Chain A
Amino acid sequence: MLTITCPYCHEERSEEELTFGGEAAVIRPAVPETVSDEQWAEYLYFRDNRKGEQAEQWCCSGGCGQWFKVVRDTVGHEVFCAVPYDHVLASGYAA
């Protein structure tokens, strides 16, 4: 079972207590009117969908309710880091 320690409430949560929010790099353009249709489609639909290490957004939905960032192996589900949402991930990970 996938477990992640929430960087806000510091509790180890199981996958049942967490909500997956997709890839960390997927962020809604701040001013949607200014982006092209192409960029909007990329934001809405297109994904890296990495096999291996991937930076993601998760929510401690069964606990403190905070969103945070995680770097995880999508094959073995090893969690390399779980950090507050405004934390800048090491280079190589978008956003």
Chain B
Amino acid sequence: MNYNLANLLRQGVAGHRGWPAAWRAPEPKPRYEVVIIGGGGHGLATAYYLAREHGITDVAVLEKGWIGGGNTGRNTTNVRSDYMFPESARMYDLALRLYEGLGRDLDFNIMLSQRGWLTLIHDQHQLETARHKANWLNCNGVDGEIIGPERVREMLPLLNVDDDPRFDVKGAFLQKRGGTIRHDAVAWGYARAADRLGADIIQNCAVEGFDFEDDHIAALRTSRGRIEVGRVGMAVAGHSSVLTEMAGFRLPITSHCLQAMVSEPVRPLLDHVVISPGTGVYINQTQKGELVMGGVLDRYSSYGQRGTFPTIEKVATAAVEMFPALSELRLMRHWAGIVDISPDSSPILGATPVPNLFINCGWGTGGFKAIPAGGFLLSHQLATDRPHEMATAFGLDRFRENRLVDEGAAAGIAH
């Protein structure tokens, strides 16, 4: 059932007790042509594009918990595409362009708000780096510009610029198409659309092992039984190494905890998404009025999906440093996701040492903004047995061939 005015009225009159589930809860079949491990944004998008772009619907998405309960539901909902190298620029801009049309594609309001992404510039070095990046973006056909301190003050009236701030603001890098999205809606929208096209979404189904036939995966052993399979796609972010260990190989990935937190809701006071490389904090106001903020990732490897007090302290003090008015607010919630950090801060896409297992991982702290591209590119690989030409630069083989796509600088924050 679609969420339109007629249905809203009908269900409202009936006391909202008649809304059907947005997707089925099928029992797993004994065999699928394609099984996707991971029911987050990337996995669900893969199932959707497999059906829509390639007509492959004999597909299951296996999720060990609930749909969107991993990093898709644990981020700060920001989207942007200000990445530097041509390979990355094309891929992240594909993601943003797909997001721009996604509400219509899925007939599901993802609440995309392109309110502008601002990276503050605090010193001459950052100014030069930002100019360099803006030039790269323009060469790659992606929008991005440098604005002066007066314009920053206009856009962010509550920013601490007068009271002898620790980090002076010399200007900002602005990507107007950057902004925020309702993160759950991305998971739910893709899930509903993939389900309607025939994919089985199976929740509470953890993969416990692989049965091999020669060098191929013949079946997956899961908490809901054995499932035979033709090809396997994997999109499990921070848990990628755990699954590939079962498949017999290692990845150039370390898992880290990335934390974020949200204040109580208040009236609109911050119209854009802001990141400060000086304080290491990024912050925006949700459409409900809460201030969402996050900082750098925890420096030691971790699979613990919960936050720590040192990070709360760092993020909260930095947010107050930037916007002194926020000192009045109380924090409401605090959460953490496990991100998959690759050596060059670029994703790992495509073939693995196991001929019928394909991966989508290594997005690190930028997985949410890349969901449509990650799904689109993995579905192409699963359907055609070849990487999409946008994905060839991001193969696992690049680490042995020394072809890194070093986007560390473009992440805009020190991780």
Contact = CB atoms under 8 A, between A and B. Distances in A.
Given A37-B400, A54-B301, A47 B310 contact: no
A9 interface: no
Given A51-B255, A74-B255, 10 more contacts: A2-B308, A20-B301, A41-B400, A45-B252, A46-B399, A49-B253, A49-B254, A50-B241, A74-B301, A77-B302
B399 A41 contact: yes
Interface string B286-330: 000000000000111111100011100000000000000000000
Majority SS of interface residues in chain B? loop
Interface in B204-262: 239, 241-242, 245, 250-255
A8 B11 CA distance: 68
Contacts, number: 72
Contacts of B303: 51-52, 74-75
A27 interface: no
Interface in B256-286: none
The listed residue with most A CB atoms (<10 A of its CB), out of B298, B300, B303, is: B300
Contacts of A38: 400
Interface of B: 239, 241-242, 245, 250-255, 298-304, 308-310, 343, 399-400, 402
A1 B310 contact: yes
Contacts of B254: 22, 47, 49
Contacts of A19: 299
Interface of A: 1-2, 14-16, 19-20, 22-23, 37-38, 41-42, 44-52, 54, 56, 74-77
B48 to A, nearest CB: 29
Given A1-B309, A37-B400, A47-B254, A15 B300 contact: yes
Contacts of A48: 241, 245, 250
A49 B304 contact: no
Contact of A51 (B239, B252, B308, B400): B239
A3 to B, nearest CB: 11
A47 B400 contact: no
Contacts of B402: 41
Contact of B242 (A22, A45, A46, A51): A51
Given A14-B310, A37-B400, A49 B251 contact: yes
A15 B399 CA distance: 31
A63 to B, nearest CB: 16
A71 B225 CA distance: 34
Nearest to A19: B299
B117 to A, nearest CB: 30
A47 B241 contact: yes
A46 B252 contact: yes
A75 B304 contact: yes
